[in-house]
Chain A
């Protein structure tokens, strides 16, 4: 073996001094540029190499296809996010940190009316103001855009109508902020005020002037933007139920409450290309929308994603202010910066939809869930945003983790004259999930069984299919329930604690990446692409379009590349800020990044690995099958002394061709049903979670304090346990806000009353319970190293867990979120009246005595546990579809076995009269079917 690899000229000489220290520039190993601060290779970390490939990492859920490329370098190790230094030292550049030479300030004129037609805009006084460099109105871009291609209903600035207070009317760029603000007062706008709609129920009615007009597809003259009907399974099963729950919920709209307000800088460079700096979760959609709005080809635009100060779904739409900045900058010939104040953040909104949700559910004599019947009327505000998808998610994401006899869903999203709702962490699944989980609790009470056991005895197994056709792969639901039950000492607390103290359970189920790339056919283009480039210095440059919004996607990509190539993580440099250099990526939403992007990155890294091994083969003479990659070295597996440094192998591989380049892509397998809307909710994998929450309720004031949460989440495989725990704890905080105190308050005049962080009550550190994060690893066969999402799913269970715990504490079912003290107090007053007591301290907390079904459920759950383990570990590979629990054969299509097995996406005429609130949208006809009524 040679004495290390030299990059500097000169003789080898001695590499160590008499005192044993290394001579500068004469390191034996590693040479400069090979990376890492450690001079010698660290031993293989067998604790992080799976047992099936000879390591010591336990694999209770079975082996994984990526096991053979594990090197024990990064995966599974708590890793500080790679951008954390930049953040904690204040060097991260967020939207408003961008400063370009000669920049000017843009300001937006906003509508003072809820709903009005713009008759005229006179900008002459604005233009005459010294210091004003550009003025823009809706007339500057008549092109419509929107995040979903099917519902493009936004303009850069209002064209014809303004649709909510705060809607964009015009914009101005001036030399400084004060001048720009002065200019706003000089616009002369003439409005014709129209009759606004605030109540989503009113949105179902025909009106003279619907907020948007969809031509022949418009539903009568209503404000319904989207209606959904889905019915699956055997509806006869719901007749004569043993137990049933019927809950009508009212959930207020909530906002993401991210720290960084929106900010954008637009600059047309000397070559006439637009450089747009924006904190975006989905730079690619902004890229597309900019091209449409500005009428320039996409390649003339470079979207630069700045650091994102929190997104949570609230920065995933292409935004009108981004268009405004670009238009103003083009007119002014100088860079234009627009930064929102908090009020503007609330006006652009895209938060969770205010919802009216009705859930009826039934259980049969064997405590099987014979039917879910869900109706969701969601308030979309002024624009469509992601609403088309939200309308589906409110129903379809309730089809697991339980096996259902039948499923019925009606949903409608209506436009109202309020800031637009959109996607927010747990998109569309959160509200219905809460309603469903509380319903299960109620049914458990009726059947005198423990709600834990009710759940455990009705779970879908791993590798199965939901009633709606979703393909479930790995499934850690059971383990999650068992872990929180044990951790919380559930069996000694539930229904046994004194008045005011309660414990509750809630579960969650969420997509790990939407199976449908919105803008293209998944069979033609991949979901995600990652490029890797390795040059002579040994550093690995990874190009990805994945947007790190604080969740750690850059770290995840760096980790998997580091793992595959056995290089320290500081040698991996992820470049993800610019659309010029990043491959197209769909961005950070639907919890897709780790799953899809890391998979693409693994594929690219594998290609590099192959080239390195081939070079090492040439150097060492051993076939790659007999070579081991470990910490900047490649060596013969039976004798680590026979090996070569990573750099040597790299340079060998580079001979004749220069830098190593590889590209990896991820595409999802074909899956899902063929019915209308089958793609909504379809994902290559799903996450599962179960939380137990403990609360203290002050029965005199109605104040709720959540004191402790046991939070188990199945993320497949925690690539970075530190980040997963952070996501779980953060999700608890966000979900607690929605369930306890956060709401967008629309007053009697329809104005948003609390567009600021004092009156919009995000929980403080005092309200934060101790959260015990429990990571469940079910090892997803298609996830990168087995990983699934951990960013959104962990939010779902906290809401029902708290609501159920409040019931356990005071014996009152509350279905009006958030559970602010006045709502709880009102409930307590009702409870006192019903119980005939004068003092709330005399209320009795609920108690339960298990009935005869309880042992039956425990037995069934135990049997299912054995079934699930075998399926999880692929010892049992027989097909399993929803319905097997009800005695159906999974090998024969269900419609052939059961007469009346439904798979409907439109209601039968005889069903119409019985549909719920949102279902009323099906009483209306589309314009094209109205035979000239209009």
Chain B
């Protein structure tokens, strides 16, 4: 049986109250986690991975479940996202492929964007992790080395395996963060920060409040391609999102996920190929192989990295297939 470690659960009902609570806990030196749907955090807690004595739930904060073409609240359930009107079809496509229908009922947009990075040396029970003498990401005070790439103790290479982030990237979305030190807005590609432990730019006490999309996003068409072993449950082993404005190849934006510690946009690769002008199938071929070269997956998910990398080419090709008709 897996016993949930004890923690105090807080339920602020407004953003201000949440920030205040966070400030209080910080002031008293208590560590805490934010929880939205709990489908990522709570399984990790059951595995006793980086548990905290306090957990602040966003579930009762008013106005965090907005769903519109231009704004998506952090508490938006993925199941609602897939069924609502007006949400960009590429986002719907990605959201409907997340995990299983059971999980999508509870899982949220905010939680998916802030998903903890994953690694098969890390997402394991306590006894298991003890048997490998822990790892860098959850070293339990041992100062353990990274198990994926040993003899380097600075960077965690756990993989970000969220599906929705790349689609928001290619649609030019911004994330709105808020915390005791105030609010800030930044483009979603600047939200993620390389390193499997830091994951993103959220500072202590800060949380992701909502996502906004520019009006231009509505003009865009695109696709999200996900690689996984089973058509349910599984996290992406690789994912490629693409969007463009119909009839204007120069507007193409590509992003990848589940290949590195963060999801990434690929403006340089796209620019390099498009510099010679759009050549249909030939451009697609060039794009997909340059995208393949630009990612460096490591061996910490179900499928081997060499294969995942090869598949980037296929996924990219399929993601932009709609550009040639």
> Which A residues are within 8 Å of any B CB, using their own CB?
96, 110-113, 165-166, 177-178, 181, 339-341, 343, 700-702, 741, 747, 749, 751, 753-756, 758-759, 761, 763-767, 820-822, 825-826
What's the least CB distance linking B208 to chain A, in Å? 25
User: Are B227 and A701 within 8 A (Cβ)?
Assistant: yes
Which residues from B are CB-within-8-Å of A764?
Answer: 100, 230-233
B131: interface (CB < 8 Å) = yes
CA distance A701 to B232 in the complex (A): 18
Q: A766-B230, A821-B303 known; A343 and B125 CB under 8 Å?
A: yes
Q: Which A-chain residue is minimally distant from B303 (CB atoms)? A: A822
B2: interface (CB < 8 Å) = yes
Which residues from B are CB-within-8-Å of A761?
Answer: 229-230, 234, 302
What's the least CB distance linking B240 to chain A, in Å? 12
User: Are B1 and A341 within 8 A (Cβ)?
Assistant: yes
CA distance A166 to B233 in the complex (A): 27
For chain B residues 91-121, which have a beta carbon within 8 Å of chain A? 100, 120
CA distance A727 to B232 in the complex (A): 24
Which residues from B are CB-within-8-Å of A756?
Answer: 124
User: Are B231 and A766 within 8 A (Cβ)?
Assistant: yes
B304: interface (CB < 8 Å) = yes
User: Are A343 and B304 within 8 A (Cβ)?
Assistant: no
User: Are A767 and B1 within 8 A (Cβ)?
Assistant: no
User: Are A758 and B127 within 8 A (Cβ)?
Assistant: no
What's the least CB distance linking B312 to chain A, in Å? 11
User: Are B232 and A766 within 8 A (Cβ)?
Assistant: yes
What's the least CB distance linking A608 to chain B, in Å? 45
From B124, B131, B233, B303, give the contact of A112 (CB < 8 A).
B131
CA distance A340 to B124 in the complex (A): 15
Which residues from A are CB-within-8-Å of B124?
Answer: 343, 755-756
Which residues from A are CB-within-8-Å of B6?
Answer: 178
Q: A701-B311, A825-B307 known; A178 and B3 CB under 8 Å?
A: yes
What's the least CB distance linking B231 to chain A, in Å? 4
B310: interface (CB < 8 Å) = yes
User: Are A341 and B303 within 8 A (Cβ)?
Assistant: no
CA distance A767 to B228 in the complex (A): 12
CA distance A160 to B314 in the complex (A): 54
Which residues from B are CB-within-8-Å of A343?
Answer: 124-125, 127-128
User: Are B230 and A741 within 8 A (Cβ)?
Assistant: yes
Q: Which A-chain residue is minimally distant from B1 (CB atoms)? A: A339
User: Are A825 and B310 within 8 A (Cβ)?
Assistant: yes
B11: interface (CB < 8 Å) = no
Q: Which A-chain residue is minimally distant from B43 (CB atoms)? A: A758
> Which B residues are within 8 Å of any A CB, using their own CB?
1-3, 6, 100, 120, 123-125, 127-128, 130-133, 147, 227, 229-234, 302-304, 306-307, 310-311, 314
User: Are A165 and B131 within 8 A (Cβ)?
Assistant: yes
User: Are A177 and B311 within 8 A (Cβ)?
Assistant: no
User: Can you spell out 15 A-B residue pairs with CB atoms less than 8 angstroms apart?
Assistant: A181-B3, A340-B1, A343-B124, A702-B307, A751-B128, A754-B120, A754-B302, A755-B125, A756-B124, A758-B233, A761-B230, A766-B232, A821-B303, A822-B306, A825-B311
Q: Which 8 A-B pairs have the closest CB atoms?
A: A766-B231, A822-B307, A764-B232, A112-B131, A165-B131, A343-B125, A700-B314, A339-B1
What's the least CB distance linking B41 to chain A, in Å? 15
What's the least CB distance linking B76 to chain A, in Å? 24
What's the least CB distance linking A165 to chain B, in Å? 5
User: Are A765 and B302 within 8 A (Cβ)?
Assistant: no
What's the least CB distance linking A480 to chain B, in Å? 30
What's the least CB distance linking B120 to chain A, in Å? 5
User: Are A751 and B303 within 8 A (Cβ)?
Assistant: no
Q: Which B-chain residue is minimally distant from A105 (CB atoms)? A: B1
What's the least CB distance linking A116 to chain B, in Å? 11
Which residues from A are CB-within-8-Å of B232?
Answer: 764-766
CA distance A751 to B121 in the complex (A): 10
Which residues from B are CB-within-8-Å of A751?
Answer: 128, 131-132
Q: Which of B127, B230, B232, B306 has the most CB of A within 10 A?
A: B127
From B128, B131, B304, give the contact of A822 (CB < 8 A).
B304
User: Are A755 and B128 within 8 A (Cβ)?
Assistant: yes
From B120, B133, B229, B314, give the contact of A753 (CB < 8 A).
B120
Which residues from A are CB-within-8-Å of B231?
Answer: 764, 766-767
Known: A165-B131, A178-B3. 19 other contacts (CB 8 A): A112-B133, A178-B6, A341-B2, A701-B227, A701-B311, A741-B230, A747-B120, A751-B128, A754-B120, A759-B120, A759-B123, A759-B302, A761-B229, A761-B230, A764-B231, A767-B231, A820-B303, A821-B307, A822-B303
Q: A343-B127, A700-B314, A761-B230 known; A749 and B132 CB under 8 Å?
A: yes
What's the least CB distance linking A520 to chain B, in Å? 38
CA distance A765 to B231 in the complex (A): 9
CA distance A555 to B229 in the complex (A): 37
CA distance A730 to B302 in the complex (A): 25
CA distance A64 to B193 in the complex (A): 75
Which residues from B are CB-within-8-Å of A767?
Answer: 230-231
Q: Which A-chain residue is minimally distant from B100 (CB atoms)? A: A764
What's the least CB distance linking B185 to chain A, in Å? 34
What's the least CB distance linking A265 to chain B, in Å? 13
Q: Which B-chain residue is minimally distant from A823 (CB atoms)? A: B307
What's the least CB distance linking B90 to chain A, in Å? 21
Which residues from B are CB-within-8-Å of A165?
Answer: 128, 131
Which residues from A are CB-within-8-Å of B306?
Answer: 822
From A110, A700, A765, A825, give the contact of B127 (CB < 8 A).
A110
CA distance A886 to B313 in the complex (A): 55
User: Are B127 and A166 within 8 A (Cβ)?
Assistant: yes
CA distance A759 to B302 in the complex (A): 7
User: Are B131 and A113 within 8 A (Cβ)?
Assistant: yes
Which residues from A are CB-within-8-Å of B127?
Answer: 110, 112, 166, 343
Which residues from B are CB-within-8-Å of A758?
Answer: 233-234
What's the least CB distance linking A810 to chain B, in Å? 15
CA distance A802 to B13 in the complex (A): 55
CA distance A111 to B132 in the complex (A): 11
Which residues from B are CB-within-8-Å of A763?
Answer: 230
Which residues from B are CB-within-8-Å of A700?
Answer: 314
CA distance A166 to B147 in the complex (A): 19
Which residues from A are CB-within-8-Å of B230?
Answer: 741, 761, 763-764, 766-767
Which residues from A are CB-within-8-Å of B130?
Answer: 112
What's the least CB distance linking A488 to chain B, in Å? 24
Q: Which B-chain residue is minimally distant from A700 (CB atoms)? A: B314
User: Are B229 and A820 within 8 A (Cβ)?
Assistant: yes
What's the least CB distance linking B186 to chain A, in Å? 32
Q: A177-B1, A343-B124, A343-B127 known; A741 and B132 CB under 8 Å?
A: no
CA distance A826 to B127 in the complex (A): 35
Q: Which A-chain residue is minimally distant from B285 (CB atoms)? A: A839
Q: A749-B132, A759-B120 known; A701 and B314 CB under 8 Å?
A: yes
Q: Which of B230, B306, B310, B314 has the most CB of A within 10 A?
A: B230
Q: Which B-chain residue is minimally distant from A747 (CB atoms)? A: B120
Which residues from B are CB-within-8-Å of A759?
Answer: 120, 123, 302
What's the least CB distance linking B46 to chain A, in Å? 9
CA distance A181 to B124 in the complex (A): 17
Which residues from A are CB-within-8-Å of B2?
Answer: 341
Which residues from B are CB-within-8-Å of A701?
Answer: 227, 311, 314
Q: A761-B302, A764-B233 known; A341 and B125 CB under 8 Å?
A: yes
CA distance A834 to B311 in the complex (A): 21
What's the least CB distance linking A259 to chain B, in Å? 15
Q: Which of B6, B133, B234 has the most CB of A within 10 A?
A: B234
CA distance A701 to B230 in the complex (A): 13
Which residues from B are CB-within-8-Å of A820?
Answer: 229, 303
CA distance A113 to B123 in the complex (A): 19
CA distance A161 to B147 in the complex (A): 26
Q: Which A-chain residue is minimally distant from B305 (CB atoms)? A: A822
Q: Which B-chain residue is minimally distant from A839 (CB atoms)? A: B285
Which residues from B are CB-within-8-Å of A177?
Answer: 1, 3
User: Are A821 and B1 within 8 A (Cβ)?
Assistant: no
What's the least CB distance linking B146 to chain A, in Å? 13
User: Are A741 and B307 within 8 A (Cβ)?
Assistant: no
Which residues from B are CB-within-8-Å of A181?
Answer: 3
